[in-house]
Amino acid sequence: MTSTSAASPPAPGPRRVAMVTVHTSPLAQPGTGDAGGMNVYVLEVARQLARAGTAVDLFTRATSASQPDVVQVEPGVVVRHVPAGPYEGLSKEELPGQLCAFAAGMMRVAAHAPAGYYDLVHSHYWLSGQVGWLAADRWGVPLVHSMHTMARVKNLHLADGDEPEPRGREIGEVQVVEAADRLVANTRREADELVELYDAEPERVAVAEPGVDLATFTPGSRAEARAVLGLPPDAVLLLFVGRVQPLKGPDVLVRAAAELARRRPDLRERLVVAVLGGASGSGVRTPMGLEDLAARLGIGDRLRVVPPVERATLAQWYRAADAVAVPSHSESFGLVAVEAQACGAPVVAANVGGLPTAVGDAGVLVDGHDTADWATALGRVALDAERRRVLGRRGAEHAQGFGWARTAEKLLAVYRGALAAPKDVSIHDAQRLRDVPPAVIP
């Protein structure tokens, strides 16, 4: 007789996570300022974690006197605005001087709660990692950190005219890598970069790919989307979505579109080059001047610069596009690419960072940022209806593997691994902390 034993139940996950995102609020509109894919990531995984039974308190810097101290997004998800420095006028580069004030604000919140209120700290971006390191050490809980972008990677792939990341950021990132119990990478390539460029211990690095809102970003009628957006039915629409800064490469699309119009003069009057987003980073300090660039290249009347839009409207732009360009010089993942594919839009992306993972074999990857190469790649997609159809179908299927629930499941596995060996806390004390019942703090 063969006996079988029941599988061991999974290790318990955290009841409540303190999630830290110092420099940008998860409630901010993506596409302008410092708000981008990370904002979407943080809020969406928090929602999925809460629905799976892990409550999340999101700590972010207050940037307006009118912001409430606490915003409940949904049951189990709370955003806490922490005063740290002047509300307005501080750039991301100036925030290191406010980390102490931010950490003190987090400590004050936790001081009103019972011991063991937070089981784990998850920090996003290196500034948050510095604060998360202090909080996790003070509370005797594990620190999980997501880099999202890394100075040493960005400095290896600078766009023309862009500014290198400062040495102080590199030092801060190294410190966070050393302090974290677990590091979460968006892709296997990012995981390798953490090991190769930051000497991270491989066993502490896990991969959890970002997701996409598959209920909002769905395939739909291109004709209907164009009617909603007021676009000509016969337009050749080349679309860029994201922050307007050299790193993201919107100028690559403008130059390639001008070259395509030069090659095919008959297309010029149908061409629409749409840039959805606002200035960010070095693009604020030194505006990219896309309108001037387009005018110099002879397509000034073909360019539309559109402020960031809410997600339902963004989905319509994706559906309306003949090709979505993602010409980033560095990209930890490339959420725009997956959103576009989920809507059935063909994607042409730079072969950098996490974009090969995001795009898979369902899109077109371009090596480098040469204008002629991009014009050729965009033309082969935008002007070939059958190829657009095939890429759109394959892209929509590919995007189905990137739901946010899947991301949250992987994060919970990372959390359980970190909790299985809490740092600097005895087994007895760890159990005592976990036995503290949940509470509500103001």
Residue positions forming the annotated binding site: 23, 29-30, 34-39, 92, 125, 149, 169, 243, 248, 309, 318-319, 321, 331, 339
Name the one residue in this structure whose structure tokens are 């989920």.
342
* Contact residues for 72 (Cβ-Cβ < 8 A; gap 6+): 78, 79
Cite the annotated binding site for UDP-N-acetyl-alpha-D-glucosamine by residue number.
29-30, 37, 243, 248, 309, 331, 339
Cite the annotated binding site for 1D-myo-inositol 3-phosphate by residue number.
23, 34-39, 92, 125, 149, 169
Residue type, position 40, single letter = V
**Which H, E and C letters describe the chain, residue by residue?**
CCCCCCCCCCCCCCCEEEEECCCCCCCCCCCCCCCCHHHHHHHHHHHHHHHCCCEEEEEEECCCCCCCCEEEEECCEEEEEECCCCCCCCCHHHHHHHHHHHHHHHHHHHHCCCCCCCCEEEEECHHHHHHHHHHHHHHCCCEEEECCCCHHHHHHCCCCCCCCCCHHHHHHHHHHHHHCCEEEECCHHHHHHHHHHHCCCHHHEEECCCCECCCCCCCCCHHHHHHHHCCCCCCEEEEEECCECHHHCHHHHHHHHHHHHHHCHHHHHHEEEEEECCECCHHHHCCCCHHHHHHHCCCHHHEEEECCCCHHHHHHHHHHCCEEEECCCCCCCCHHHHHHHHCCCCEEEECCCCHHHHHHHHCEEECCCCHHHHHHHHHHHHCCHHHHHHHHHHHHHHHHHHEHHHHHHHHHHHHHHHHCCCCCCCHHHHHHHHCCCCCCCC
Distance (Å, whole) CA 442 – CA 439? 10
Name the nearest CA neighbour of 41 among 187, 189, 150, 146. 146
Cite the annotated binding site for Mg(2+) by residue number.
318-319, 321
